[in-house]
Amino acid sequence: MTLLLAINSVGDGWSLECWRDRFKAALPDHRVVAEGIDDYDPRDITNAAVWKPAPGLLARLPELQVIFNLGAGVDALLADATLPSVPLVRAVNADLTRRMTEYVTLHVLLHHRRLPMLQRAQAAKQWLPKNQWAASAVRVGILGFGTLGRDAAEVLTRIGFQVAGWSRAPRPLAGVDVYAGVAELGAFLGRTDILVALLPLTPETRGILNRELFSQLARDGVLGAPVLINAGRGGLHVEADIFAALDTGCLSAASLDVFETEPLPAVSRLWSHPSVIVTPHNAADSDADAIAVDVAGQIVAYGKGLPLRNIVDRKRGY
Ligand code: NDP
Ligand code: OXD
């Protein structure tokens, strides 16, 4: 059994050598090779663990049985028309989920507690004791109520925010208002002050964060105007519509972790927009230790005839 590791991404967390070491430790009875570093015969590869591999690479592996995606989102993989039709497993991992919950909580709180305004005041040496409302006065809406959205919802609810989730099918969760499907999207948006996007990028969700959607967000909240937090995928949002919404006051601020083009080009106005917080697609990094152990566990279990978990439904696109 040989596992091919193929990673095509920048960032401290994506060192191929580091991931290879983790997989070797987690799979002592397997051979582990890394694309671009090790020589291998494509006919030997039975499993692949990948993050944004070069299109066409996996199609060259005739004995491939399972593809393990090292992140939660599979949009980049599914964009490869040559992707072999073997089971595709995505990362669902407690460490990754908690990291996203940290990101969402941090950004909801910083907008709620008006940190950008206080930082501007500090820079101007200005003492600015403005009113601060309670969390219970703020309505957070989580667009995409799956593994990540639900965990974030639990923490935000505990803090006291009024939380709602939107998914394709209703996904009940204690203390959270649940909305589902296109028919309930308007009602969900109409009660939302801080919109958190945690949707996968699919043909249905591409461009969903647009002018029309922003205009349906609540206008009667304590924040004055709604806030957008996108940690799903850049393809969910229409950048020009975010600028327009910020300029007209339809949105008051945005935290963006994901972008139409990544890395975000130096010429992008988003870098310097006073109402935008940019983070470099690191809301929830895939941790090599945590994910390698999960994937290795699945490879061993599958070898013993047990079913795979977290298989992507290619028709749905997530
Ligand atoms: P899940 O598959 O667990 O959840 C996806 C949610 O989106 C589900 O609730 C699903 O509905 C809902 N959804 C999908 N399509 C639609 C639609 N057309 N209309 C309404 N709801 C829809 O995914 P995760 O929570 O694990 O991850 C979500 C995304 O987060 C990933 O796909 C990835 O793009 C992004 N991500 C970003 C990271 C970062 O660092 N910025 C890190 C990790 C992930 P239903 O429940 O009914 O199926
Ligand atoms: C993911 C990501 O999908 O890091 O896991 O974006």
Check if the beta carbon of residue 169 is closer than 8 Å to that of residue 180.
Answer: yes
Contact 144 CB / ligand 2 (< 6 Å): no
Contact 234 CB / ligand 2 (< 6 Å): no
Nearest alpha carbon to residue 203 among 314, 62, 52: 314
Of the listed ligands, the closest to the CA of 199 is: 1
How many residues are listed for the chain in this entry?
318
Q: Which segments of the chain have a pLDDT < 70?
A: none
Residue nearest to atom 5 of ligand 1 (CA): 146
The predicted structure's pLDDT at residue 109: 98
Q: For the chain, first and last CA: distance in Å? A: 28
Q: What's the pLDDT tens digit per position in 103-155?
A: 999 999 999 999 999 999 999 999 999 999 999 999 999 999 999 999 999 99
> Can the peptide bond before residue 274 be classed as cis, meaning omega within 30 degrees of 0?
no
The predicted structure's pLDDT at residue 163: 99
Check if the beta carbon of residue 68 is closer than 8 Å to that of residue 48.
Answer: yes
* pTM (2 d.p.): 0.98
Separation of CA 76 from chain center: 13
Residue nearest to atom 4 of ligand 1 (CA): 146
Contact 200 CB / ligand 2 (< 6 Å): no
Q: What value does the mean pLDDT of the chain take?
A: 98
DSSP 308: P
Pick the CATH number of 96-278 from 3.30.43.10, 3.40.640.10, 3.40.50.720, 3.40.190.10: 3.40.50.720
Locate 265 and state its tokens: 């080009």
Contact 164 CB / ligand 2 (< 6 Å): no
Select from 179, 198, 256, 315 the residue to mutate for testing ligand 1; criterion: most ligand atoms less than 8 Å from CB: 198
Contact 72 CB / ligand 2 (< 6 Å): yes
Q: 21 C-alpha vs ligand 2 centroid, how far in Å?
A: 21
Task: Give, in degrees to the nearest 5, the angle at Cα 83 between 82 and 84.
Answer: 105
- Long-range own/partner contacts, residues 31-34 (CB < 8 A, 24 or more apart): 31/1, 31/2, 31/3, 32/2, 32/3, 32/5, 33/2, 33/3, 33/4, 33/5, 34/4, 34/5, 34/6, 34/7
Select from 148, 286, 312, 318 the residue to mutate for testing ligand 2; criterion: most ligand atoms less than 8 Å from CB: 286
Rounded Cα distance between 199 and 202, Å, is 9
Contact 255 CB / ligand 1 (< 6 Å): no
Q: In what order do the strands lie in the sheet with 45-51?
A: 31-34, 2-7, 45-51, 66-69, 88-89
Of the listed ligands, the closest to the CA of 286 is: 2
Of the listed ligands, the closest to the CA of 232 is: 1
Kindly give the number of the ligand 2 atom that is closest to the alpha carbon of 283.
4
The predicted structure's pLDDT at residue 10: 86
Catalytic residues: 233, 281
Q: What's the pLDDT tens digit per position in 128-142?
A: 999 999 999 999 999
Nearest alpha carbon to residue 221 among 166, 141, 159, 157: 141
Q: In what order do the strands lie in the sheet with 227-230?
A: 177-180, 162-167, 139-143, 194-197, 227-230, 253-256, 276-278
Contact 146 CB / ligand 1 (< 6 Å): yes
What residue spans define the domains of the chain? 2-93+286-303, 96-278
Amino acid at position 227, single letter: V
The predicted structure's pLDDT at residue 2: 97
Q: Do domains 2-93+286-303 and 96-278 have the same CATH topology?
A: yes
* The dihedral sign for the CA sequence 179, 182, 184, 187: positive
Check if the beta carbon of residue 9 is closer than 8 Å to that of residue 263.
Answer: no
Check if the beta carbon of residue 154 is closer than 8 Å to that of residue 102.
Answer: no
| Class level of CATH domain 2-93+286-303 | alpha beta
The predicted structure's pLDDT at residue 11: 87
Rounded Cα distance between 213 and 115, Å, is 26
Task: Give, in degrees to the nearest 5, the angle at Cα 285 between 232 and 200.
Answer: 20
Instruction: Annotate 3-21 with b (16+ C-beta within 10 A) or e (fewer).
Output: bbbbbbbeeebbebeebbe
